[in-house]
Structures are given as structure tokens and as C-alpha cells.
Structure 1
Amino acid sequence: MRNLDKMLGTLYGQAVGSAMAMPTTGWSRERILKEFPLPITDFMDGPLTNMRVKDYHRGQYTVGLQQALVVIQTLHATHWEYDQVQVAQHLLDWARRIKAYEKATLDETSKTALRLFAGDKDITRITQTAMDNGAVGRMPLIGALYTPAEKMALVEMVYQVSKITHETDVTIAGGGLIAGAVAAAVADYDWEQIIEFALVISELGESLGAPTYSARVKQRVRLGVHIAKQFKEQPTGFGRAIYELVGTGELVSESVAAALVIAYYTRDVKKCAVLCANIGGDTDMIGALATAICGAKNGWQSIPKDWCSLIDRQNPPQDLKGIGQQMLTFQSMRTSQQP
């Protein structure tokens, strides 16, 4: 059921997951335990010892959601008609605005692809070899726009929004996995159905991308679901098993598969955000994706309101509630265009 509660659940879910896990991103589980002997259960500033996030403050979300918001607002401004040049230009403007080329915040694939785009050069040598998750952070909000019945249109939009910087089988598969999971969650599918629909969209997306030698996202998800059932009611053991067997690095086949399985395991925004903050690896991306799925399923009302207020205060350039309202116009416009 697409409504404002579901749109805001996706938006604030992604924001919460990203901001909660921001301090530990890029660190191993061992490093996290050394720096934080007690598990992280609340928002905090980026540690000075973590060069990727040392300039971030408590409650600030990172580049995955920032990119997603740029894409959604560009689509809204163009009346939901996709224009790759406009989207790419807005992403490039955003990257320059946040000084992405001087800092370690944005993935190298996106930096290079956007730089080549600005120079009007062929970017396919970058986009058609990428296997990292740099584009997948854009996908939870794309998934929230579509119903499961619109799966082919959803896959096409995932492909278009991803290929600006990432155009391989595994990156499109990963984007489809997350967008499909969110679309199913917004539609109130049960958790087993969410997994299955996400895999359907992932496989459709995989067929569109340039071939790579990456591990298959579908198989990593299947392994993760098996681990989730094996470690029921044992979150510490589950987290370690996902870290060691599925993987939590920046490769799509690791972090994106892990994110869906973590959402499936926790089924709750708060539990999901905390687990992601402590799991190790690309924690802010995993947190953003996993917690967005939980927020899409359970809605904005399920998220602690003090957490939402903190997100609003700490990220003032963006009005998430207003963007949620904009997202609702997507379906109404599509309906009005039908004969």
C-alpha cells in the first residue's frame, strides 16, 4: 500500500541506518570492538580515527542517501520523465558541492564516471567493469515508487539510474535486489515474499548488465537466508556468520546481499540499525539499505520519533517529509497519463 507512512518509512529508514552505522564504516569487526568495547546502540559523531567519516556529526547520513535524494528530486522536477543527462549532471553538481573529489566519501567508480561524463568522454570502460555498491544507495527510493505489478518498469528504472556510473550484471542485479525488496515491503508482502520478489527483480536486472566474474547475488542471498534461520534468536552469532560467509565489503555480491538478509533477520528499524552499526565492513551502506527495507515494511510510525527529529536537525538542507510527499505524486501522475 503506497502511502505517506510507507514513503517516509523508506526515507527515514535509510537515513537512520546510514547515520547509525556511519562511525564504523570501513572498519573490521575487530577494529570496531577495539574502538567501541560496548556495542553501538545510538548515534554518534564520526571518529577522528576514521578518515572516511571524521567530518560527519551525530545523526548525519552519508552519500548513499544523499545521491538517492538528488535522483528523486531530479525525477520530480522533470515530472518523472527520466533524463540521463539531467540526472548525471545533478549528481556531478552534488559531488562537486560536497567536495567528493577532495574527500574519501564517494566511491572511486562514481567519481571517475562522473568526471568522465563532465568531460564528455566514454564512460563505459568504468561503468561496464564496476562491481562495487556505489550506485545501489540510490535504489531504495526508486523501489518505493513502484508496485510489484510494475516489475518491468521498475527494472528499467533501476537500470537507467544505475548505469550512469555502474552498468554491470552484478551492479544492476544488486540495485534490483534492493529496489524489489522495498517495492514488496511497501506492498506489505510478508518477509518470505519480500525475499522472493527481490530475487526476481535482481535476476531481471542482472540480464541487462555487462557480464562480470562476480559471485552471484542470488546465491549469496540464499546462503544468508540459511544463516538467518540457523542463528534464529542469536544476533551476535548471526552477525559474525554474515560477516565471515556472505561478506560485508563494498562489493555488491557481499554488502548488498548482506543488507537484504539483515533486514529479513531483524524485521525492525531499530534492531536493524544497531546490528548494522556493529557488523563491520561497509556498515553505512549496509545500514542504509537494510534499514530502508525495514522502514518500507513497517512504516514511519514504527521509527522512534526522537531519531527522526535528530535526522531532520542534523541534515537541514533536505526536507524528508516534503520529499515523501513528492514521491506520492509519482503514481498519481502515472495514473493520470493512462488512457
Structure 2
Amino acid sequence: MSRVTILGAGVLGLALATELAARGADVHLVDPHPVPGGHGCSWWAGGMLAPCCEFENAEEPVLRYGRAAIDWWDRHAGGVTRAGTLVVTPARDRRELDRFARRTEGFEVIGADPLAALEPDMAGRFDRALFFPAEAHLDPRAALAALHGGLARRGITVAAAPPAGPGQVIDCRGLAARDILPDLRGVRGEMLVLRCPEVTLSRPVRLLHPRVPIYLVPRGGGLYMLGATMIESDRRGVVTARSVLELLSAAYALHPAFGEAEIVELGADARPAFPDNLPRIGRAGGRLYANGLYRHGYLLAPAVAMQMADHIETGAKPEFWHETDDQR
């Protein structure tokens, strides 16, 4: 556990630096952007710590490690709200709710009155919902800042270039690592930050729709993160008019007051993903790498970080270890 240089200060790079620093490593973070996580998909995440909901179309490790991630974020960043998740659908799309229930676990089926008790501003809008009481959410930007602050108190800051001299290098650059990971692909997500003080929600709400499912995550002060599209594309930086229209139409279906919401921010980025949509730890380009969090950045970053730290500290083979044909 001597010098370790981490390339990339997104959610995975910061989580790994936090794990390694706690174990006594001499950690150096390298990123061309001065704000940790402030230029990529870590910045535009919803912040839902919702492993049971994500299990609808994810592999088992997302459920297993996602449950443990809630406590990890509480310990290292704070700001975790453990209020659960609500999943609803318009009456005409009731089959979507039934399908979602078949593919997930850890929920309670509730009617209109319990739903109104949980979220009074949704009273009378839906007669049935799924409530996932063990799930949580956080503000991703505040969480990134908390990890960075914890590292700064240990004397670890973000540099634009790696230090000279020997040491272990770990690549956590996301899509930028395609120069050494050619099978990494981008999955585009577009999100909006809305201000709608007329509606008060205390937990994330997912609205199911056969074509445009959305999530709405409260950020406090009448702010909400609305997302997100899933498009097989590595196009970054701009949100299309069609996506804005579809996301806002779905938000209006959740509550008409969102029709008068103020659009505070628009953002889009491409999530790094491998063909199986699970993360990988391995060696490529003469260095270790950790990558491919897909849409599960805040759910899986703690597990990937701990597995990588264990590997460096003890040589243990990570569950997410990936060997290429020439390494077998």
C-alpha cells in the first residue's frame, strides 16, 4: 500500500481514493477538470440508492452490492435520506406496474390512502403503488463534494497530471478509457433539474410508462432531478428537444403542477458500460483499471472501490475481475 495514482475523479475515482486512503495508501488523484465529478455522468446522476428497483432489469450483483452501498454512502458522505421509493403508473398502464412487481423484490403493494399518507401531494392521483421502504437517495453533487472534502482533510487533492516516480496506476476515466478498453460503450442519459415549489415530495417517485419511464428525485427547496433517457449513444453535453418534451410530459402526468415548473438545468452525458452492463476490474494498457458502472454509479462504486482496494492490499481476486484472452 505505497503510492497509488488514480486517473479520474468521478464517483468511482473518489470512492476508490477514499477506500485506499483509509487503508494507509499514498493516494494521488488526477483529473483534467478542477471540480471532482463536475464534468461527467457522476454530476448528472439521479442519486437514487434503489437496488431493488434497479433489479427490474439488472443482474444480481446490483441488488446485493447496492444494498450495502446505502450504508457506505452514509458513513463516508452523509446526506442519505432513507425514505424509500414509490413506483406508480397511470391506470391505463397498470400492466407495467404488475410487470415491474414480478421483476423486483422488497416492496409493499399499497392503495390510494397509504400512498396519500406517504406523499400528501399525490393524494387522489393514483389508486395503487409499489413502496420500497428500504431504499434511499442522496444529492450526488453534495456526495461528491463530501468525498472530496474528506480526501482534502487527508491532504489529497486533484492534480492535472500524475506525479513523477514509481507507483501503482489505476484507470477510472470512464468513457475516456476507450483508448485501452475498446469494448467500452456509451449509454446516453438526459436529465432536467426543475424548480416546482408547488409540489412537495419526500422520496423518489418512479412513473412507469411503456415508452418513457421517468424518475423524479427531490433535492430540497422545491428542486427535483427529472430523468432519464437510456439511449445507445456516446453523444454528450446537449439535451434534445424530443427528450425534454417526453420527460416533461411524463412529469406532468405525475402531477399537473410540473407543467408550470421552472427548468433550472439541462444536462446529458454518456454512462460507460460493457456489453453485459456490469463493471469490470482488470489490467489493460499496462495498468489496472476499474470501469463500466453503467447506470449504477452510486450503487456499485463502493463495491468496486472496495474490491480494487482489497486487490491492491492483499492480492485478492475481485468478483468483478475480467481477464482478456491473452491474460488467461
TM-score greater than 0.5 by the shorter chain: no
**TM-score of the aligned structures, taking structure 2 as reference length:** 0.31
Q: What TM-score does the superposition give when structure 1 sets the normalisation length?
A: 0.30
- Structure whose residues are more often helix by fraction: 1
Structure whose alpha-carbon radius of gyration is higher: 2
Which structure carries more strand by proportion? 2
Greater RCO (CA < 8 Å, at least 6 residues apart): 1
